[in-house]
Amino acid sequence: MDDLLTDVSKTLYRPLADRMRPASLGEFFGQQHILSDGGALRQAIEAGSLHSMVFWGPPGTGKTTLARIIAHCSNAAFISISAVLSGVKDIRSAIEQAEQYRAEGRSTILFVDEVHRFNKSQQDAFLPYVEDGTIYFIGATTENPSFELNNALLSRVKTYVLKSLPVDEIKQLLLRALQHEAGLVNVNLEIADAELELLASMADGDARRSLNFLEIAADLAEDSNGKRIITRAVVADVGAHSLRRFDKGGDAFYEQISALHKSVRGSNPDAALYWFARMIDGGCDPLYVARRVVRIASEDIGNADPRGLQIALDAWQTYERLGSPEGELAIAQAIAYLASTAKSNAVYMAWNEAMADARQSGSLEVPLHIRNAPTNLMKDMGYGKDYRYAHDEEEAFAAGESYFPDSMGERIYYQPVERGLELKIKEKLDRLREKNRSSEE
């Protein structure tokens, strides 16, 4: 029976990505910005000198693998838990196991995958054991630790940023999988360099994803004269409908919408359209972008071109009526227009200043002369007395009239820029404000 179980275990399927997992730094691809010769992390790993750390980077960049290599090089026990599946009970169990290793004179690395999924109290559970050396903590996260990890834990670890693998490194990884005995060397597989390049680019910087693609492509390879060929058609089939890296609510989401917004503000329609395309390709809801475009129209274009706000609203409504993909073109049209037209944040700045004054000044009374007086009692109390009806004055402007609370004095929030329609608005307001000043002399 034992022999049968052994034979079965030998035939159990292991994904190519798992079979190709590097066991040493020499086999590890990428991240040379933190693993270069002479670098602090590499020296620490090679010397077996442990410290607690967090690896922050996109999926498939080697966070788990690097943690395992560190444990191997330092001869430390390796305990792994996932914040997606684990709770306080699992944390306690891992700590108890680490305490047992410590009693035996052995260090322990506790690896926590997706550590950002733990709440504050769960993260706090690690602190005393990191502090007293029971564990060396290694967390892995795809989200910004500054936002997702509490300060107490962050102060006890060093954060290393891992980057997406470039296409040339992904190609090297795929070639190794085709040549390595643990990879696909025994399936008599061939792939041309152009198809390998395409397969590598479709992985979007994710090593695990690239190996998964290669394994699927090997299964779909076409037989030809005793060989199995991964053709362009096979590669296209493997990558069909694969989405780029995009996590609604995560770093990628906010980084890309920020890039789109700043591209519009910077009057670069080409970059703005690229980031819009990236978000749509990654699965973003176009209505979210449509709402953000309306915000951009008010914040960054404003009265320099009031048509921008209407065009943005029309794009939003068009998408609601047509849906995808037709409605996306209307949003793209609005983005291109807003990026190309005159810019002004004068209303945005004026609104912020007015809001700050409103919050700081308290509940100041409305001046009597600009209050309505619908009753005789209110008239007797002075409501509306001496109010000057602007339409009865020259240019429909009551020069010197005050509309602010008496104790505030006059304020100027809105400062139109000399661009677009605001150039005309500025000329008029400058003239009217000068009349106000002259009336006070």
Q: What is the pLDDT of residue 4?
A: 47
Spatial distance between the Cα atoms of 152 and 332, rounded to a whole number of angstroms: 44
Quote the mean pLDDT of the chain.
Answer: 89
Q: Which fold has domain 365-440?
A: post-AAA+ oligomerization domain-like (1.10.3710)
Q: What is the rounded average pLDDT of the residues 62-88?
A: 92
CATH hierarchy code of domain 251-340 = 1.20.272.10
At 179 the pLDDT is 87
Q: Is there a cis peptide before residue 325, judged by omega within 30 degrees of 0?
A: yes
**5 pLDDT above the threshold of 50:** no
Q: Does residue 139 sit in helix, strand or coil?
A: strand
Digit-coded pLDDT (tens) for 26-56:
889 889 888 988 788 888 888 888 899 999 9
Segment 148-201, tens digit of pLDDT: 899 999 999 999 999 989 999 999 999 999 888 777 877 788 899 999 999 998
Q: Residue 291: how many CA atoms within 13 Å on its side-chain side?
A: 5
Peptide bond before 286: cis, by omega within 30 degrees of 0?
Answer: no
Tokens 């620490």 belong to 44
pLDDT in tens, 240-279: 766 555 555 556 778 899 999 999 999 999 999 999 998 8
Strand 77-82: give its sheet, edge to edge.
77-82, 108-113, 136-141, 53-56, 158-161
State the pLDDT at residue 286: 93
Residue pLDDT, tens place only, 16-34: 888 889 888 888 988 988 8
Residue 400: what pLDDT? 87
For domain 167-239, give its CATH number from 3.10.180.10, 3.10.129.10, 3.40.640.10, 1.10.8.60: 1.10.8.60
Q: Give residue 250's pLDDT.
A: 58
Mind giving me the DSSP string for 98-119?
Answer: HHHHHHTT--EEEEEETGGGS-
- Average pLDDT over every residue of 331-339: 97
Show me where the domains of the chain are located. 31-161, 167-239, 251-340, 365-440
Least confident of 2-11, 318-327, 416-425: 2-11
**CB contact at 8 A, 250 and 57:** no
User: Phi/psi at 438 (nearest 5 deg)?
Assistant: -65, -35
Q: Are 292 and 285 in contact (CB under 8 A)?
A: no
The confidence score (pLDDT) of residue 288 equals: 92
Decide if domain 31-161 falls under CATH 3.40.50.300: yes
Answer yes or no: is pLDDT of 61 > 50: yes
